[in-house]
Structure 1
Amino acid sequence: MQIVPCPNCGAQIEFRSHASVLAVCEYCKTTVLKDAESVKNLGKMSDVLEDYSPIQIGTTGTFGGNAFTIIGRIQLRYSDGMWNEWYALFDNGKTAWLGDASGQYTLTTEIHANAQLPEFTALIPSHSYLINGQNYIAADVRTADCIGGQGELPFKIGQGWQAHVADLRSGRNFLTLDYSDSNQPQVYTGQAVSLDELKCQLLRDDDQVRTSAGKFKGKIEILACPHCGSSTQFLPGITTTIVCPSCHSQVDTSGPVSQILAAGERVEHVHTTLKLGAQATISGRQFQLIGLMQCSDNENTVWTEYLLHSPKAGFLWLIETTEGWARAIVLDEWPVWMQEDAAVLGKVPFHKLYRYPATVLFAAGAFNWRVGIGYRTEVVEFQGGQNKLAVEMTSSEITWSQSSPVSADQIRAWFGDAVVVNKTSTDENIKALSTKFIGLILALNLIPLLLSINTWIYVLIGGLAIYLPAKYLNSYFEEGNE
């Protein structure tokens, strides 16, 4: 361990890893570069945005029988969201990176790649690449800006530093190609992990996550939409994007000042079974509904997706369609995609059901990526027994999720009184049934009356006696729903 004074405030800065060349002063946020004989002040580093991550500097864990400690972090932002890279120091002196993106984690270490590697601009998500004798699928290819840093790091970063990275997957195996410094990338390999598997200790607790999410240290959280002033009353902290439920503006909250990304117009109230802020106990964990969106396909089929978050369990999706409910999670282990018509997860085969474009029609709440009206993905669904797989593809990213059916009774058991009955739909059903019933009665009465030529005037009077009350009732229902 090497201890040096901060050249700005004089506080002690510890370099625990010999590989570290940079550290961010905990007290004044000065970026300190460690040279062979001195330290240099590189200016202040932007503070990191406190997000939903339970990890912090000082978190410990084990991997492969070796203990590690988190000693640094960089926070990266791209066009659709942000993620953390935690710098881990093992007790044996080796280092690794713990990737942290929306509750999914990967642990990777740098290796030497012997093969010729593709150029950054040639990489395409969903395409297969042979690297070091193993086939990988490109999961995402993106350019990201460094927006903050903490602790000590093995390379120099600062304002304006960009990362050009591609992540590739094969089952649970993970590979990152980092083109940030040259056209010949640095190669990192590892696998998808969970915090439970890593036996992590000294994590932030639920209260710390809940009260700090979306905040900068020492600054006041902004909860008012800068476009219409409406308050986001459903959540005390957010990730990178809020879609205002009142005016539909998309608000970027990954910086110290909220900015409007796309000003929206006020929209009519959208009826959903679950509302923002609803809470549920699922598998013994407390979840809160933080975002919802309605989507449609090319056949105008509409469904609703609800994003839930738990400080302990991370993110969870509930999907409501005309066929019922489903519970979905984003997969750490990717299936093997057998050309176009089949996929295999573990040893379970799945056959292709549909391929369709999905477009967001409405969104409100907080999301862990940038979403708004018109956001579009290409979806392929697969069926295996009661479960389904779905692969969602954009020009820069591909993700896999698995869903299983959930009964409406189970939804009510989870959410209790928070489940909303759509009164408008109920009234319209009553109106439709009433109209059919009145029409049937009218037809039955007309049959014997029309057989008599001299009774047409009575038929007319009887018809008006039935029609006019029905017309009044329809008007009453319409006024009651306005």
Structure 2
Amino acid sequence: MTDSGSQRYYRAPCPGCGAPVEFRSAQSTHAVCAYCQSTVVRQGETLARTGKMAELFDDFSPLQLFAAGRIDGQPFTLVGRLQYSAPGGRWTEWIAALDGERTGLLSEDNGAFVFAAPFELQRAAPAAADLRVGATTAFNGRNYTVASNEQVALVSAQGELPRLPELGRPFAVVELRNDQGQVLSLDYDTHPPGAWLGRSVRLEDLQLTGLRDESAKDEKGRSFNCPNCGSPVTVNLADSKSITCRSCNEIIDLSQGIGGELRHAAQHEPVQPLIALGSIGQLQGADWQVVGFQHRMGVAPGDDEHFGWSEYLLYNKKRGFSFLVDAEDGWSLVKPTTGAPTMAESGARATYLGKTYQQQYAYNAETSYVAGEFYWQVERGQKTFNRDFANGSALLSMERSANELTWSSGSRIDSAAVAAAFKLDRRKDMFKRADALPVSAASSLGCGTIVLIVVVIIVLLIILSTCSSGSGSGGSRSAGGSYGGYSSGGGHK
């Protein structure tokens, strides 16, 4: 045992190669030797070798072992890393030693980050098979909605670990979310299952030091030849699960890594985005790069009139991903929520973080074209059922597939602000949408004309109200949207 100031840690020789293996957290029971990749378990004052860990896949994260920060005023250090795989791709969890006696998790969540702590359940967790996506259940007096239920497996690890699932053995991970912005993860690799409760965090707010140097990234293996046309394709983002070839527009599946089988699918009739891939714009005080683009089509149940909209996937190294949505009734900027709003049984309203939203539209959506990189496994023809809600300029949206339920929140944004953000002021007229027409037209109309228009609108509304069923679904798609479905899913992913 070594004492360094107030920090005490245990050190012993690796039984595989003799190199020193350190335990900085009292909660750590396992470790992976940095030299020979031996998996060792601590047994009193000695270490026993239990096997060998597979090589890490490079996730190009700014995080690394021994990076330090603060959460709620408490210091922590990243001492371990677990890498998992699931049908939708791979992700990383970082083990955070808080004060030598407590352990937390800093993990990926739909392109952002969640910090979680162990959570003691006051009742036994149901079997994973009984927690269906979309169902509601209660733990410790609070309601949660099941957001995802997946079979995952540990593929590699590094550093100190409070637990070590059997390498390659599938087990269930269920993510539940609530309307307070929290995510509860149930990990069924133990009996009873482990439980973690987390909330969204931004890396810049954690006051992190010791982050990975940008120059230290090894770009080897991040480029490959398109499996369809042979043209070079370069992957720029750590979390990309899909990418399109710029030469032939083929969609390439990266969920198994570049070294794995590169499945691909053809798509034709490309849609030209108004904002070019790679463009950088400043929105909400941060620089965002356009890394992906998708066009989607929607139709209300029982209707035959389709409508379309576009979504730009934006990336910022410390804030993760957001979506800039271009719909016929305006622009909006949104990002996936960590929690899950509470929705009325009728679907007419939803509540999140103390604010109530009214449903605007309900419709079936389908992806019709994609370009660029995506942190989830995107495919042309993916289908979801969506609901859009609004409270003034604030927006909330739900997107549901067979295996996942995702929510997004954000707000409307002026079209001129979007054009200015990406230095496209000369083309700002092309950014104008239906929401801007009454305002822009008013400046060139006289007062008498405006009054006449208002009277005509009122008369039309009275006529329509007598003919409409008032269902609140269908019609035109709002600027809210549903974003980031088919994500890597869950608070730990």
TM range, smaller chain? 0.7 to 0.9
Aligned to 1:325: 331
1:110-168 C-alpha deviation (Å, 9 max, x unpaired): 34323232210010122110112221111211111223222111223453133411111
State the 1:47 CA deviation. 0.8
The 1:198/1:305 distance shift into structure 2, 3 A limit, reads same
Aligned to 2:342: 336
1:298-313 equivalent positions in 2, closer than 5 A: 298=299, 299-313=305-319
Aligned to 2:446: none
Aligned to 1:405: 412
Structure having the higher helix fraction is 1
| Aligned residue type for 1:297 | G
* Counterpart pick for 1:21 among 23, 29, 39: 29
Unaligned stretches of 5+ residues in structure 2: 1-8, 300-304, 431-493
Name the SS for the 2:129 alignment partner. helix
1:422-441 equivalent positions in 2, closer than 5 A: none
Q: How many residues align?
A: 413
The 1:110/1:352 distance shift into structure 2, 3 A limit, reads same
Name the SS for the 1:412 alignment partner. helix
User: How far apart, CA to CA, are the structure 2 residues paired with 1:5 and 1:31?
Assistant: 13
1:73-472 equivalent positions in 2, closer than 5 A: 73-157=81-165, 159-170=167-178, 171-182=180-191, 184-204=192-212, 207=214, 211=217, 219-232=220-233, 235=236, 239-245=240-246, 246-252=248-254, 254-261=256-263, 263-265=264-266, 267-298=268-299, 299-339=305-345, 340-417=347-424
1:238-285 C-alpha deviation (Å, 9 max, x unpaired): 622223342423231542515323x32352332221222122222342
Unaligned stretches of 5+ residues in structure 1: 424-482
Aligned to 1:459: none
Name the SS for the 2:203 alignment partner. coil
State the 1:92 CA deviation. 4.5
The answer to whether the Cα contact below 8 Å between 1:241 and 1:367 also exists between their aligned partners in 2 is: yes
Aligned to 1:479: none
The answer to whether the Cα contact below 8 Å between 2:203 and 2:319 also exists between their aligned partners in 1 is: no
User: How far apart, CA to CA, are the structure 1 residues paired with 2:155 and 2:395?
Assistant: 37
| Aligned residue type for 1:400 | W
| Aligned residue type for 1:128 | T
* Displacement over 4 Å in runs of 4+: 417-423
- With structure 1 as the length reference, what TM-score do the two structures score? 0.78
Aligned to 1:456: none
User: How far apart, CA to CA, are the structure 2 residues paired with 1:377 and 1:69?
Assistant: 40
The answer to whether the Cα contact below 8 Å between 1:225 and 1:251 also exists between their aligned partners in 2 is: no
The 1:137/1:418 distance shift into structure 2, 3 A limit, reads same
User: How far apart, CA to CA, are the structure 2 residues paired with 1:254 and 1:419?
Assistant: 42
1:70-122 C-alpha deviation (Å, 9 max, x unpaired): 10111222222333211111224111222222443333333432323221001
Aligned to 1:472: none
| Aligned residue type for 1:357 | N
Aligned to 1:55: 63
- With structure 2 as the length reference, what TM-score do the two structures score? 0.76
* Counterpart pick for 2:53 among 44, 49, 62: 44
State the 1:352 CA deviation. 0.7
1:416-441 C-alpha deviation (Å, 9 max, x unpaired): 25998999xxxxxxxxxxxxxxxxxx
User: How far apart, CA to CA, are the structure 2 residues paired with 1:173 and 1:220?
Assistant: 36
Aligned residues: CA RMSD: 2.7
Name the SS for the 2:97 alignment partner. strand
Larger Rg: 1
The answer to whether the Cα contact below 8 Å between 1:342 and 1:382 also exists between their aligned partners in 2 is: yes
The 1:156/1:258 distance shift into structure 2, 3 A limit, reads closer
Aligned to 2:43: 35
